[in-house]
């Protein structure tokens, strides 16, 4: 198995048309999966994927993630039927709770028990995707439904803390991480997934690790850009706790330590990036999800990364 076969490229769409072009370019470079990141009020990923499906032929299309609570699990299942009609077997559905600070002001949802609600969401959506029908009564969802057919779409969730990794191991086809140091995945994520899988008497599903990349050899510039990008996450208490649990506590004013950037970001020439990817794959994750550190010319950096990946 080649390194490239275990790598996907993730991005936040600027608009639907450019996103389809990026996915087509990724396919042309041999990248096996394109992942799109959907903010709570971002462009709808599944609609975008319908366009990408008919413009491409092989690349898998993954959501990392769709904020689950923005739509009922039945609605999600009906959307997936249409997508699977267009490109059977090419979709990977990643869902998650999204961020409290965006969900509550925008949608006015209760957010006291997001992981409990996500568990119920999986209890509804999982059987719909696998068997085409479900009967369920919980605190958040009450469903008795049968859809036209079971799509079989792999269902994954976003994971940050131990309980989420355990839930992924217990009930899903994989865990999608975001900004988690590789040592944290080794020491916390993987073991928690194994614990969850054991509860259900199943094999531990794949772990997909997020890696920031930049083709820029000016490390100081990369660190500056990465620190600016990470500033948003450093303001969120749940990321602060994860960074601390991983051994990279933020400074007194939520300063981001250089050591955290060093473990999250791969930069430099093709050889350096290839070596870094291989090293991370040897430490437990089955796949990597790459996303760019914002630079002066995103399109040029993206083209350069695709070129590097195509030679792996």
Pick the closest to residue 295 from 305, 285, 286 (CA basis).
Answer: 305
The candidate with the shortest Cα–Cα distance to 62, out of 80, 40, 85, is 80
User: Mean pLDDT of successive 10-residue segments in the chain (312 residues)?
Assistant: 95 97 98 94 95 98 96 98 98 92 79 94 98 98 98 98 98 98 98 98 98 97 96 94 98 96 97 98 98 96 97 94
Q: What is the pLDDT of residue 102?
A: 76
Q: Do residue 84 and residue 144 come from a single domain?
A: yes
State the pLDDT at residue 109.
77
The H-or-E segment that residue 289 falls in is strand 287-292
Cβ proximity of 89 and 110 under 8 Å: no
What pLDDT does residue 104 have? 73
40/122 same-domain check: no
Q: How many CB atoms lie within 10 A of CB 252?
A: 5
Determine the structural domain holding residue 303 and report its residue range: 4-71+158-310
Total domain count for the chain? 2
Q: How far is CA 68 from the centre of its chain?
A: 13
Residue with tokens 């590097």: 308
Considering the domain architecture, whether residues 293 and 187 belong to the same structural domain is answered as yes
Question: What's the CATH code of the domain at 222?
Answer: 3.20.20.30
Residues 6 or more apart in contact with residue 163 via CB below 8 angstroms: 115, 192
Same domain, 90 and 121: yes
Q: Which residues pair with 275 in a beta bridge?
A: none
Alpha carbons 90 and 23: distance in angstroms, whole number = 13
- What's the pLDDT score for residue 107? 84
- Take residue 10 and report the two structure tokens written for it: 């993730």
Q: Are residues 97 and 198 in the same domain?
A: no
pLDDT at 143: 98
């Amino acid at each position: 198995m080649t390194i490239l076969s275990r790598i996907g490229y993730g991005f936040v769409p600027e608009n639907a048309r450019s996103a389809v072009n990026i996915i087509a370019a990724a396919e042309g470079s041999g990248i096996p999966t394109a992942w799109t990141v959907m903010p709570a009020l971002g462009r709808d990923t599944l609609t975008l994927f319908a366009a990408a499906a008919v413009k491409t032929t092989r690349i898998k299309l993954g959501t990392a993630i769709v904020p689950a609570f923005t739509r009922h699990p039945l609605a999600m299942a009906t959307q997936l039927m249409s997508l699977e009609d267009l490109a059977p077997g090419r979709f990977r559905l990643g869902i998650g709770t999204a961020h409290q600070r965006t969900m509550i002001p925008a949608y006015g949802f209760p957010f006291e028990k997001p992981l409990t609600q996500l568990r119920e969401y999986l209890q509804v959506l999982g059987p719909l995707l696998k068997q085409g029908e479900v009967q369920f009564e919980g605190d958040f969802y009450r469903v008795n439904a049968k859809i036209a057919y079971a799509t079989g779409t792999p269902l994954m969730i976003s994971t940050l803390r131990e309980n989420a990794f355990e839930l992924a191991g217990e009930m899903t086809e994989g865990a999608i991480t975001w900004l988690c140091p590789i040592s944290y995945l080794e020491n916390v994520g993987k073991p928690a997934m194994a614990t969850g899988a054991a509860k259900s008497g199943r094999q531990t599903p794949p772990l997909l690790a997020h890696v920031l990349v930049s083709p820029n050899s000016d490390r100081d510039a990369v660190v500056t850009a990465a620190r600016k990008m990470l500033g948003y996450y450093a303001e969120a208490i749940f990321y602060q706790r994860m960074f601390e649990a991983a051994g990279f506590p933020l400074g007194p004013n939520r300063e981001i330590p250089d050591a955290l950037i060093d473990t999250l970001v791969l930069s430099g020439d093709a050889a350096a990036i290839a070596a870094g990817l291989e090293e991370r794959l040897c430490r437990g994750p089955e796949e990597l999800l790459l996303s760019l550190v914002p630079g002066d010319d995103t399109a040029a950096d993206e083209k350069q990364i695709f070129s590097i990946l195509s030679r792996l």
